[in-house]
A and B are shown apart, each in its own frame.
Chain A
Amino acid sequence: MALLGRRRPVAPLEYTRKTWMRLWIAGVMLFLYAPLIVLMVFSFNDSKRNVVWKGFTLKYYEKALNNEGLIEALVNSLTIAALATVFSVILGAMAGLMLWRFRFPFKGSVEGALSLPIIVPEICMGVAMLIFFAKIDWPVGLPWPLNLSAITIAHITFCFPFVALVVRSRMASFNREQEEAAKDLGAGEWQTFRDVLLPHMKPGLVAGALLAFTLSLDDFVITFFTSGPDTVTFPVKVYSMVRFSVTPEVNAASTILIILTIALTALALKLQGVKAIADAH
């Protein structure tokens, strides 16, 4: 590295060729990804204790996939995440548009109230949700998927403000003259929305949906408080498994979840274009 670097002098702003910068980046990457890589590697470890590497095996994946409780929890989590995402995107987009577009009394308070679920500690949200659902006698013990309703509603509550924020900041870069141009060319309100506003908003919607999905999928605290006695989600299930011992089965299940998330994110980025998502922020 240093040898190569000497050939051409390092320009003042060429930070990527500076040794201290490279070391810093390497350090950041290590802290970010080393735990994940260790987790994934040890999911193939042929040992019950999962402390020392004993050899390669796929048996824990087999075990995890045959663990009915775990699969059920995974299906629950994915269902909740999908539903929460859909509703969050719709609600969040509407809220974001409203904040961007209109001036109304107490706008500042509405904005503040909207970001409350982001700021309030999760534990408080969880307790509040628990009390709320108990107070209104939300029915429990319903058949699947109605038994997920309370958790889903709770998830929508803390997911949609994120979508609203992303959509709103995306709309800040919208040129209002485009909207006027569409109307000038004969488009009505709905046509203008569909043909001009929505395409501009799309990267924000995709980014918001990704946020909502991942937030919902890995939420533990609020879910723990709002899940009924028989409803288990993936993070809750993994937590209960870890209480006995950290077996490679947990690693395997986590690895599956990580790969699933990465695949979904990659798909969304591919559909939308990485640049557009980056532009949304």
Chain B
Amino acid sequence: MPDTAQPIIQIRNVTKRFGKVAAVDNVSLDILAGEFFCLLGPSGCGKTTLLRMIAGFELPTEGQILIDGQDMAGIPPNRRPVNMVFQSYAVFPHMSVADNVGYGLKIAGVGRAERDERVREALSLVSLGGFEDRKPDQMSGGQRQRVALARSLVMRPKVLLLDEPLSALDAKLRAQMQFELSELQDKVGITFVTVTHDQDEALSMASRVAVMNKGEVAQLAPPSDLYEFPSNRFVADFVGSVNIFEGKLILDEPGRAAVDCPGMGKIFLNHGVTGPHGADVWVALRPEKIYLHVPGEGKAIRAAGQDAPEGYNLARGQIKGMSYLGDITLYEIKLDGGAMIRVSRPNLSRRDQEHFTWDDRVSMHWRADSPVVLLN
């Protein structure tokens, strides 16, 4: 994102209440021009409500929404410079594809010739050239979605809103559409704002993600920051798979810190966390950041006279469960201290998964910069 990027959408202290329940609770965020922004969260977190307020289908109870510097209060959906791709696609079933895509232009009073030209352009943009005369019921779900996309893009909106754009597609098609949507956004240069509950979708497509929980923004960050540097337990847990241990901060200096977790032992970090000494904290550790090995195999490591390579954490335990997922195998391990931990291990060769089995004693180690200390 260039530094010159201007916020195209400014959401200022927006609250939306349905009765007593606040679906969106005092949210403020800026969406920059040209970015692929994603609202991520579990169902009921308020992400769709926020999107619908941008589109104008819901009105904020409090707060202000500005699009391109203009306050949207009192401006109905049909006069906002944004267009939306609906979860059900909402393609008009009684109109041909060309009539669907051309509908907005027709309403806007664009002449026949220009309309036809722009419809053709939009359809070729979503690889539906030649489908002009088809009826929606002769098309697959994926194709209908492209019609909905073309129908919105043809309006050249300042912002394109997408409500759960991939949820109705099967897994293979979804993966393909993730790439296509990113590519499309690159090509047209329009700001995309998408809503999803699927973290893969958010991580793979978005330039920035706002994770929402109970109507509030839990964290707003680029995908890799979200995954590697979650700012609270909710984000760590919601985005990806994670082990979370509760413990006390017993050492906190610039350059090193330690957390004592019951059932787990001490976890060392190679950086300070600037938390109050003795405070209750949580340590988040991703399953794929843990190396798994047979205790005997660690000889080379122990030759150095230590439990693990310099600066590594070490733990031992027994495998209590495993699930083979093809590319990786997931292990549930009971630590000697009593806590359970999940470890994932890539199957780098065909028989890798046979290396460990139930009740095997195993050693684990992980880098001192892998765990994330969370204060809330």
Q: Residues on A close to B: CB < 8 A? A: 175, 177-178, 180-188, 191, 195-196, 199-200
Contact = CB atoms under 8 A, between A and B. Distances in A.
Contact of B108 (A177, A178, A181, A186): A186
B107 A181 contact: no
Interface string B62-92: 0000000000000011110011101110101
B107 A186 contact: yes
Contacts of B146: none
B78 A177 contact: no
A66 to B, nearest CB: 48
Contacts of A183: 76-78
In order of increasing CB-CB distance, the 8 nearest A-B pairs are A185-B104, A181-B90, A177-B90, A199-B94, A177-B86, A186-B107, A178-B90, A183-B77
Nearest to B76: A183
Contact of B92 (A178, A180, A186): A178
Nearest to B84: A184
A186 B87 contact: no
B94 A185 contact: no
Majority SS of interface residues in chain B?
Answer: mixed
B103 interface: yes
B90 A175 contact: yes
A178 B82 CA distance: 16
Interface of B: 55, 57, 76-79, 82-84, 86-88, 90, 92-94, 103-104, 107-108, 148, 151-152, 155
5 contacts: A177-B87, A182-B92, A182-B103, A185-B104, A185-B155
Contacts of A186: 78-79, 104, 107-108, 155
A196 B77 contact: no
A185 B103 contact: yes
A163 to B, nearest CB: 21
Contacts of A178: 90, 92
A189 to B, nearest CB: 9
A148 to B, nearest CB: 37
Contact of A180 (B86, B103, B151, B155): B86
Contact of B88 (A177, A182, A187): A177
A188 B107 CA distance: 9
Contacts of B94: 199-200
B148 to A, nearest CB: 8
B55 A184 contact: yes
Contacts of B83: 184-185
Nearest to B82: A184
A252 B291 CA distance: 94
B96 to A, nearest CB: 13
Contacts of B90: 175, 177-178, 180-181
